Structures are given as C-alpha cells and as structure tokens.
Structure 1
Amino acid sequence: MKRGLFLVAIATAWLMTLATQAKPLSPTDSLVIRFANRTRLVIYGPDKASIQALSNYDLNKIVREMGMKLDSVPGGPTAISQDGGRFLKDTVLVVTKKQDGVTVVISGTNDSAKTPDSQKDKDDQQYKQASERAKRRREGNNFDYGVSIGLNNFIQQSTSVAYPEDSYDLRPLGSRYFALSAGAMPTIIRGKYASLKLYYGVEVAWNNFMFEGNNVAEKTPTGVAFPDAGRDLQKSKLTVCTIGVPVVPRVTFYNSDGRKICHIGLGGYVNYRLDSYRKIKEADGSKDRRHSDYYLNNIRYGLMAHLGIRSFDFFVKYDLSPLFEVGKGPDVRTLTFGVGF
C-alpha cells in the first residue's frame, strides 16, 4: 500500500510542476499527503481545479516514462532508483519543462547518493565530444594511414613441363606480405545505421615468395628458372616491390549511438612494379642479393575484399593478371590475405 501511495505522490508532483509552468504558486491551493512514518508530501497548484484535473492522467505511465522505479530496501523504507543511484527520504524531484522535453533531477540529503553538477557537466561534455567524433567519422572525408601484414600463396592456373610445380613451392609462413598505405574515404550515401563510403589511396607493398627446399630464382635468356642450388640454404626467396592504387567501396554499419560496428567492402587495385630481387641466405649465414626483373609483369591488377571489425581490417587480394610474362615463367596468380591496422 505504501509503495503505491509513494508512486502516486511522485507522479502527482511531476504533473503539477508541468501544470504550473513557472507561474507563482499560492500556498492556499494545495494537497497534503501524509504517510504513516510522519512524512508529508505537499503539492501546490494555482487553483483547486488543477489538482482535481490530475485524475485525467495515467500516473503509472508517467512514472514509467520518467525512467524511475520504487524499490523496497532492508529496514522498511522505500527508495527511488534511477540510473543505478538510490535515494531515500528527504528526496526532492525538480521537474523542468522545456521545448525539447522534460528534465527530471533527483537529489537528497545523502551526499553520497547525489551526482555533483560538475561531474554531470563533465559527463555531458564527454558524451557530446564522443558524439561529435562519431559524426565526423560518419560524414567526413577521413584521411587514413595504414600498415598491412599478411601471407602470400601461388594459385596455379595451368601446368607446364618446363615449370614443375614442386620447383617453386612456397613456404606458407615465410612468404610474407607487408604494405604501407595512405588514402581517403569520403561518404557517398549516409544513413542512420549504415553508410556507403569509397576508399581510395596509394599503397607501397612488398610480396615475399620464399621457396621450399633449396630452389633459387634465376633469370635465363628463355625465362625464369628455379633450379636446385645443390647445397643447403637457410632461405631462398623472390621479393617484388610495387606501388598501387586500391579503390574499394565500403558499407559501414553503426549502432544506435552512432558508433561503428563493422564494415565490408569489395573493390579492385592496380599495381606497378618498382623493384624485384632474389635473396639467398647460406647455411653459414652469409647473404646474396641480386636485382632483376625476372620476367615479372610490370603491371598487376586484381580484386580485393575488406572486412573491418573495430580497428582491425581483414583483407584478401587476388591477382587477375599473371605474375610472370606469358611463356617466361609458371602460369600462377598471387593470393594474399592478412590484416591491416
């Protein structure tokens, strides 16, 4: 019974504050509610009709919309709970009606249960700054720097007697990919929970192809060859350095607070070869590096896909163009996958 009366009293105080709208109140037109524990709740109104009009309102609905609830706590008293804070007796509700809605402030004599105005202002400022940053990320032409690491593999297109597949098998973990990129990402279509963006930029990448066994890359008058070195090697690899232009449309998804959840993208790229070399590390640790084109295609192009989760950007790249010139090397395409930061 006490819980219901207290609920009605709180809602009634809020309604009367709205009804007065800052007009001078006369203490002669009032409603006094007494509780068994000698607690009194006094409601003032401009006239008796205002108090009688309270019967036209759904008090339970009003209290629910205020976001408050009544909790029974050990010892018998009833407490108001809002946003995790608890307020016992001598609780004051200040209700302010504005054009954009109603503001309810709860305070009490227990200082530990009150949120200082300075802390509230600080929290509001932090929320505002976070919202503005999220808005800039959604709407702005974000300029982005990135580092990508991954692994390479060959995809065989056709076999050739001159180039048996086991002569250029790759070590899975040794055939690494590394890239530095810079690009922009303007928003094309913007929505509340999703937006379409276009990522484009410039990328400098190093594809390392580390061979299994003791095979080495050699340039001959008729094409590239991968003969056995005839001795034990720690490692043997072919490295290709390229500069490229990726273009990837992305769909980015957001939650109700405007924060990014993830993004997906599918696009393409064009690369131009800047340098290439083969590197051998002997069993005794000595190294031999020789620069040559090794009949590699100067221009490579392909498809790429992105999947972004938080600050990580997983990617897959597949060359549609052959790695080597036709008839000068094995008919292989490059598959690269990894993660960007």
Structure 2
Amino acid sequence: MKSILTLAMLAVIIPAVASSHNDPRQDTVIIELNNNSKIVIVTKSREDLASLENYDINQMIRDLNSQLSDSVEYMEINDGKAYVNNDQVEMKDWKINDDEIRIKLGGVEVDVDPDKVDDWDDDDWNDRKKVTYEADRADRTTHHFNIDIGLNNWLEDGNFPAGNAPHSVKAFGSWYVGLNSTNRTWLAGPLFLEWGLGINWYNWKLEDTDYIIVEGADATEFNLAPATQNGLKSKLTASYINVTAVPMFDFSRGRQKITSIESSGLKIKKYSRKGFRFGLGGYAGYRIGSHTKYVYKEDGNREKDKERDDFFLENFRYGLRAQVGWKGVELFGTYDLNNVFSQGRGPELNAISFGITL
C-alpha cells in the first residue's frame, strides 16, 4: 500500500509542476489523499523537486507511523540523507568517541575505531557500504587542512633570469610546499572568504650546479665552485609562516559531493567541491629559517655542504595569491611584491610559484 502511495505521489508531482510553471505557487506541490488528507511539498526550484527521487518516502512514512498516533499536522526533515534510498545504501555520520581517531587531510576524512580495526580482515572490506550524495553548505564557517605542492622561480624586472645568469633557476625541480590551516567563511551569495595560517618552503635550485650560493660581507653572492669540484646540486631554501586571505566566488555556493565508505571500524569520507570557483587575495609572512645546500663530487667522492644563515633575505614577505578550481581540482599561484633579498644585498628578484592544492 505504501509503495503504491509513493508511486501515486510521483505521478501527481510531475503534472502538478508542469501545470504550475507560470503560477506564483509553482514552488508548492499539493497531493490530495483520501479522508481529506493531503501532502504538501515546498521546493525552491524544479531541480530541488527532482532531487526527491533520491529519498525513501516510504521510510519517512514508517517513521511517522511509529512515532505519532492519530494524525500529523506538521513535519520537517532537516537531515535528508538519513532517508537516502536503499539502493544507494543508507549512511549516517559516526559519533566520534574518546577511543576513536579522526584524521582529515584536504578533502579526505578518515575515522578509525581501534577496537574494531584490531579484528578487521580483508572480508570486512568486501562487505563495505558506499554511498555518494550531495550536501549544501552546513555552517557559515568551515575549517580544513590542505597542502600546496608546486614549482617556484623568481622574476628579475618582470622576466625569468637569462639561462646563463648565475642565479637562473631550474624550471622543474625547484619545489614549493605549503601546509595550510584554512577557514572558509560564507559572506553573501556566491562570495566566500578563505583565510588562515600556514607554513611554506621555497626551494630555488640553480640551473648551473657549478655555482655556490654564499653570504658575503655585504651581499649574497653566486660564485663559481673550485675547478676540482663537479657540482651536482646547488640550492637556496627559505621557510615562512604566513597569514592569507582570499575572497572567492564559488558558483556552486559551497555545495559538495560526498562519497562515504564504511567497513567495520574504518570509515572514509571524500569531499569534492562542485562547479567553478576563483579568487584573488593577499598574504603576508615572516621568515623562520633559511639554508643553502651544495652537493658535488671531488676526487671521486660525493660531498655535501649545508650552511644555515639569513643570506640577506628579507624577513617579511607579502604578495598576491590567486586560486581557481573546477569540481575536485584546485590550482594556486603566488607572487611576492617585495624582493627576495634586502635592498642592495643581492639580485633584485621577486618570488613566484604555482601548483595544485590537495
């Protein structure tokens, strides 16, 4: 009987929506039942109405019958995924107890119950439950941890240094790494603000490995190594702690695709953003460390020299950060507006980097 009721509901919904296209009440669907009863469905758009196909109406009615006696005057469902159809597998969030462990990195969240995982075997994974659903923005501000991985270089008068310049950097191999604790705050409409604190590492690897980076009396110098040494690697590394703020236009308005997999004491959730987004903002940072590394061969032996110093690097950095994303892919680019080295203490260079955010 209840299955017939569900089919009847769907049969009434479709023509009701079509006929109300030009009606100011088009967002409301009224289904007349017997005994002067009716079901009223209020939606914001045709797409929202279509999403009802993903939910188990029969389960909602069973819950009502078990909890209420004679009649129902009002019902509000706040957590729709509790009624996801059985063919998508019903999944509910775990409650994290003191003995459970939660690890969240980028768009992946792992919950582990050690007591259950101790007894876990391969057969448990074969019986795993999986569900994929979409969810709107739940909170005004959300927090996540992400990693920036990319390449960095520096610009001299707006151009990359000439290939024969002592400070010319390898296009590939000069890695940029950033660890970021990021908050995402909804402001209005599609506008969000991504802000937070992070640490990043610049690695500038010289194109000509026969040059050594040294701190001279008055400036950082790029000097040729002794003729007896065959250079293998020469680089400068600097690390900074940063604050970042990037206004973002997210045209999916924070909507996410969520894939949840559960097996015994293990649960994995993957969050993927929807739609297109972009933003441009700024950052400021303070240098917390720097060193050079020179790897070479001499008399057939591999040697490595590492020196820690400030190398006349600017202690503060500030610049622009651009971000662009499409669904689960997020790209970034940064440009330091100030020079890498203090004025007159080295080549006039501006750091630049680009890559992917995980």
TM-score, L = length of structure 2: 0.58
Residues 1-48 of structure 1: CA deviation (Å, up to 9, x unaligned): xxxxxxxxxxxxx9xx99xxxxxxxxxxxxxxxxxxxxxxxxxxxxxx
Residues 149 and 327 of structure 1: CA distance in aligned 2, closer, same or farther (over 3 Å): same
Equivalences, count:
238
> How many Å separate the matches in 1 of 2:14 and 2:325?
39
1:237 to 223, 235, 238: 235
Residue 221 in structure 1 maps to residue 217 in structure 2: yes
Secondary structure in structure 2 of the residue aligned to 1:65: helix
The amino acid across from 1:134 in the alignment is: D
Deviation at 1:215, TM superposition (A): 0.8
Deviation at 1:123, TM superposition (A): 1.3
> How many Å separate the matches in 2 of 1:333 and 1:269?
15
Secondary structure in structure 1 of the residue aligned to 2:345: coil
Structure 1 unmatched ranges of 5 or more:
1-13, 19-60, 68-93, 104-114
Counterpart of 1:210 in structure 2 is: 205
> How many Å separate the matches in 2 of 1:167 and 1:256?
47
Contact 1:158–1:331 (CA<8 Å) still a contact in 2? no
Residue 134 in structure 1 maps to residue 129 in structure 2: no
Deviation at 1:280, TM superposition (A): 1.1
Which runs of structure 2 are paired with 1:59-70 in the superposition (5 Å)? 65=15
Higher relative contact order (CA 8 A, sep 6+): 2
Counterpart of 2:127 in structure 1 is: none
Residues 259-314 of structure 1: CA deviation (Å, up to 9, x unaligned): 62121110000011000000111234332110010000000110010002223320
The amino acid across from 1:285 in the alignment is: R
Structure 2 unmatched ranges of 5 or more:
18-32, 43-48, 50-55, 62-82, 94-131, 258-273
Tell me how large the CA RMSD over aligned residues is. Answer: 3.8
Counterpart of 2:173 in structure 1 is: 174
Counterpart of 1:273 in structure 2 is: 287
Which runs of structure 2 are paired with 1:45-56 in the superposition (5 Å)? none
Residues 257 and 339 of structure 1: CA distance in aligned 2, closer, same or farther (over 3 Å): closer
Which runs of structure 2 are paired with 1:256-335 in the superposition (5 Å)? 260-283=274-297, 284-335=301-352
Deviation at 1:165, TM superposition (A): 6.5
Deviation at 1:244, TM superposition (A): 0.6
> How many Å separate the matches in 1 of 2:288 and 2:256?
42
Structure of larger gyration radius:
1
Deviation at 1:118, TM superposition (A): 6.4
The amino acid across from 1:170 in the alignment is: V
Deviation at 1:228, TM superposition (A): 1.1
